[in-house]
Structure 1
Amino acid sequence: MESLDLTLFGLAIFLFAGWCFNWFLHVLAILYGKWKLHRPTPAVPPENLPGISVLKPLVGVDPHLFENLESFFTLKYPAFELLFCIQDEMDGALMVVKSLCQKYPNVDAKLFLGGKKVGVNPKINNMSIGYEAAKYDLIMISDSGLKMAPDTLLDMALTLTDKVGLVHQMPYACSRKGIASHLEKVYFGSQHAKMYLCADVFRINCTTGMSCLMRKNVVEEAGGLKEFGQYLAEDFFLGQAFLDRGWRVKITSHPAMQNSGMYSISQHHNRLVRWMKLRTAMLPLTMFLEPISQCMVMGAMVSWAVTYLFDWSPLMFFLGHVLVWFLLDYLQIKVIENKPLPFSKFEYIVCWFLNELSYLALIVQSHIDSTISWRGKKFRLRWGGYVEEIHTKQTV
């Protein structure tokens, strides 16, 4: 009986300490975000800036593709090239790229068709020819759904100091219409931003492949871009390759503004499930840490702990816990947005609760099936982040 009491006491202390540490991370993310993000970009003589090759892997057309790609043609940077990579010559994105090349003839833009099979990752296969043809020593990988501010590339180049080998943007989202857009902003501006900002402080690998600038010579040391074609989460392994070689990985002050023209709550949830599956395969410990790091689960567990330790009311503690978490998330998303939020406080409340309550169900869903659907293909996920493509039999 005494050993049971000691075990319960130890568990309660552990949970309460973890809860206190969580609040430290919340406050740290808000303060660091306020200091790090949306800094004014200083003026730099053009001759002091390195050339950058921007790889743009494209698949299909969405309503915002022209707008997103045009933002790269209008970048305020002295020396860069745009390398558009399209797998299928019948892809509608081809006409969008050609029209922009005609509109901006002075921009150094090239088109690469067909890709090159170097692994199972279709994005890496798509970019391989463009990567090999890049003329600059700095490579940027940028997804088609991003809209770029004119000075973002300059900001990323200035973040790439002597000790930094890879710079990436913290994911966020442009303002669009409807509850699905608001939900994306709440997710990327709260729990996701907290993870990214704290990871940057503690130098934990949290690289995002949707927008990252890196030194090509380091990628070549690691085996070249083709080396990462065996993973779906190539961004994580690219970041780890830099860390393993003594380079730092940093986020830039401009968030990555996702601006897909095709979005919905179900698409957002499917994306989160895919990311959860990849995290679990690469870092199995997240299978246990991710659920208990959520607001509702942590609140329920620590409510028991404080009742055991201090005889506090579990219901009142739980409600206070949720309220403070809710308010800190609101402060954080205001820091990330850096201007008035594009939705009302009521819409924020609805999206916050929808995000928190659905996330646990998505975690469960991610553990039910190890297959991943991405870019029109299916993959079977293996431990360590390795994948194999699932080829379906065709019947006639």
Structure 2
Amino acid sequence: MAARSTVDRVTMTALLLPQCLAVAGILYTLAATILAGRWKSGPIPPENGPPVTILKPLHGAEPLLAENLRSFVEQDYRGAVEIVCGVHDPADPAAAVARAIDGPVRVRADRARHGSNGKISNLINMMSDASGDIIILSDSDIAVPPDYISRIVATIAPAGTIATCLYAGRGDAGAWSRIAAAGISWQFLPSVIVGLATGRARPCMGSTIAMRRETLDRIGGFAPFADVLADDHAIGAAAHAAGCEVAIPRLIVTHGCAETSLAALARHELRWNATIRGLDPWGYAGSIVTHPLPLALLGLNLWLVAAALAARLALALRIDRLAGRRTAPIALLPLRDILSFILFLGAFAVRSIDWRGGRFRLGKDGRMSADTEYLT
């Protein structure tokens, strides 16, 4: 009888913990839905602005690359704009795509490497072609609305301010890319909105990092981040350490997803999750509450499952309205949530990552080095 009582207590505890976490997750999801509904943009007064250089590090001809680049050309901005696209290999097909864009677009092809982070090496090389007073760097898979530059410039008008942008997902390469986009829109974006509202998040994201040239000089340029995997986070941290403020304009840009298989999606998200875990272990562990539906399923409580599903559906629909489009078929939400939870747990076992054809070992400070076990 004593053994059976112990088993019953263990079973009850095993069910009670995910149930409690599911309740916390449902409350979090409702809060995220309310906060997302308040993320609205106001008008930007039209005025002449300083010269702007947009840096675009490229690697391969991604789906919709031309459309993404063109969105940076077609801007309602009263000022000079130049776009510098950088590649390491002159034969990179992305270079031909960039050269075909009708607008102030230049391509810098430079094989020089300055560290293990190829993107940062690219940016260092591109800076010799940058002439603008405002420097905006943005990943190649980002598309923006016509008022993007105007809002960015208005945001960094105060001295020592840099800007970054929230983003929603868009599937550019079929079904798996849409599932990947759903993870960004329905999981990642709400967590950042809640983090901003609570003061827990201090994001700086590759979707946009914009600053005045003197601010970039203050943090030492791009060279200090040449061996950092989470370079966007590190740039934000360096800006804060230098007394700068990281501000977020009220707009949502678009991140194009190109995953064509479950394996590609898992590799990408495990790398992403492992990076976040390495930078903020306790914060990452606490983000378990952003997964209420899988937790409710683990708790074997049908009422909680129904409540979690309803809350998650409401949040996904709210985010899609905010983004101005349907990210993925809403029927995929339960599958996407379960997959997100599996990859969340999987990141605790990741010690090295695949990135752009190489394998790197993650350090506790966010730096990366070649994985010697893999190389040998």
TM-score bucket of the superposed structures, by smaller chain: 0.7 to 0.9
Q: Structure 1: which amino acid aligns with 2:87?
A: I
243, 256, 279: which is aligned to 1:282?
Answer: 279
User: Does 1:323 find its partner at 2:309?
Assistant: yes
Q: 2:204 aligns to what SS in structure 1?
A: coil
| CA deviation after TM superposition for structure 1 residue 23, in Å | 4.9
* TM-score normalised by the chain length of structure 2: 0.84
Looking at structure 1, the residues matched to 38 and 157 of structure 2 have their Cα atoms a distance apart, in angstroms, of 18
The equivalent residue for 2:364 is 383
* RMSD of aligned residue pairs (Cα, Å): 3.1
Looking at structure 1, the residues matched to 315 and 368 of structure 2 have their Cα atoms a distance apart, in angstroms, of 35
Q: 1:84 aligns to what SS in structure 2?
A: strand
Looking at structure 2, the residues matched to 216 and 201 of structure 1 have their Cα atoms a distance apart, in angstroms, of 29
User: Does 1:248 find its partner at 2:255?
Assistant: no
**CA shift in 2, pair 1:265/1:253, >3 Å:** farther
78-87 or 259-268, larger mean C-alpha shift: 259-268
The equivalent residue for 2:46 is 44
Looking at structure 2, the residues matched to 370 and 244 of structure 1 have their Cα atoms a distance apart, in angstroms, of 28
The equivalent residue for 1:311 is none
On the 8 A contact 2:57/2:119 being kept in 1, the answer is yes
Unaligned runs of 5+ in 2: 1-8
Looking at structure 1, the residues matched to 338 and 274 of structure 2 have their Cα atoms a distance apart, in angstroms, of 19
* TM-score normalised by the chain length of structure 1: 0.80
The equivalent residue for 1:225 is 222
Percent identical pairs in the alignment equals 19
1:140-219 equivalences in 2 (<5 Å): 140-162=136-158, 165-174=161-170, 176=172, 178-203=174-199, 204-219=201-216
353, 360, 378: which is aligned to 2:341?
Answer: 360
1:105-116 equivalences in 2 (<5 Å): 107=104, 109-116=105-112
On the 8 A contact 1:67/1:147 being kept in 2, the answer is yes
Looking at structure 2, the residues matched to 342 and 61 of structure 1 have their Cα atoms a distance apart, in angstroms, of 22
Q: 2:38 aligns to what SS in structure 1?
A: helix
Q: Structure 2: which amino acid aligns with 1:222?
A: I
The equivalent residue for 1:238 is 235
The equivalent residue for 1:308 is none
121, 130, 136: which is aligned to 2:132?
Answer: 136
The equivalent residue for 1:118 is 114
Q: 1:190 aligns to what SS in structure 2?
A: helix
19-28 or 68-77, larger mean C-alpha shift: 19-28
Between the two proteins, the alignment pairs up a number of residues equal to 361
The equivalent residue for 1:348 is 330
Q: 1:299 aligns to what SS in structure 2?
A: helix
| CA deviation after TM superposition for structure 1 residue 223, in Å | 2.1
**CA shift in 2, pair 1:65/1:348, >3 Å:** same
Q: Structure 1: which amino acid aligns with 2:76?
A: K
On the 8 A contact 1:168/1:207 being kept in 2, the answer is yes
Post-superposition CA distance 1:190-220 (Å, at most 9, x none): 2211111122223422221132212332332
The equivalent residue for 1:68 is 68
The equivalent residue for 1:306 is none
The equivalent residue for 1:32 is 35
Q: Structure 2: which amino acid aligns with 1:217?
A: E
Looking at structure 2, the residues matched to 326 and 293 of structure 1 have their Cα atoms a distance apart, in angstroms, of 10
Q: Structure 1: which amino acid aligns with 2:185?
A: G
**CA shift in 2, pair 1:26/1:319, >3 Å:** closer
